């Protein structure tokens, strides 16, 4: 999955974290060896948690009206990710699960960024116009 400029929200910290998420999900497929997939999944799960929490803090301190709703989207995805992780652990065909994790994570991320993160970014950038523009 290639990162494209259309996924940029304009909030530098969020964009950097999104790029890293995409990079890690790609690594998952490249590293289809049990121990490496597992360490990448572990990294992804803590990186996703950190990224979500950073976004949620940014939304709360900026009094974003949709902060609770946005947080719920994060909570729901975290649950989906945990379920996928459990599937991976118990799966016979690990590659199949790795591919479905890749598809699910990238699909969700693209959708979430394009709709919800960009909506927040628009709100945020109105309050904090970039200095270099």
**Tokens standing for residue 119:** 């909506």
Could you count the other beta carbons within 10 Å of the beta carbon of residue 93?
8
Q: Which DSSP letter does residue 117 get?
A: I
Half-sphere exposure of 5 (CA within 13 A, CB side): 0
Cβ-based nearer residue to Fe ion, 15 or 117: 117
Cβ-based nearer residue to Fe ion, 9 or 40: 9
Does 15 bind Fe ion (CB under 5 A)? Our answer is no
Does 55 bind Fe ion (CB under 5 A)? Our answer is yes
CB 70 within 8 A of CB 58: no
For Fe ion, the binding residues in 91-120 under the rule CB under 5 A are: 117
Q: Least distance (Å) from Fe ion to the CB of residue 32?
A: 28
Binding site residues, Fe ion, CB under 5 A: 55, 117
């Amino acid at each position: 999955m290639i990162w494209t400029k259309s996924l940029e929200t304009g909030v530098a910290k969020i964009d950097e974290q999104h790029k890293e998420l995409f990079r890690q999900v790609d690594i998952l497929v490249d590293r289809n060896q049990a121990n490496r997939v597992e360490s990448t999944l572990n990294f992804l799960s803590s990186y996703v948690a950190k990224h979500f929490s950073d976004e949620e803090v940014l939304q709360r301190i900026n009094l974003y009206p949709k902060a609770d709703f946005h947080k719920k989207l994060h909570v729901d995805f975290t649950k989906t990710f945990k379920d996928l992780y459990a599937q991976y652990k118990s799966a016979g065909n690990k590659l199949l699960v790795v591919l479905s994790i890749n598809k699910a994570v990238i699909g969700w991320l693209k959708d979430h960024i394009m709709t919800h993160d960009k909506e927040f970014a628009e709100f945020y950038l109105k309050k904090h116009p970039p200095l270099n523009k």
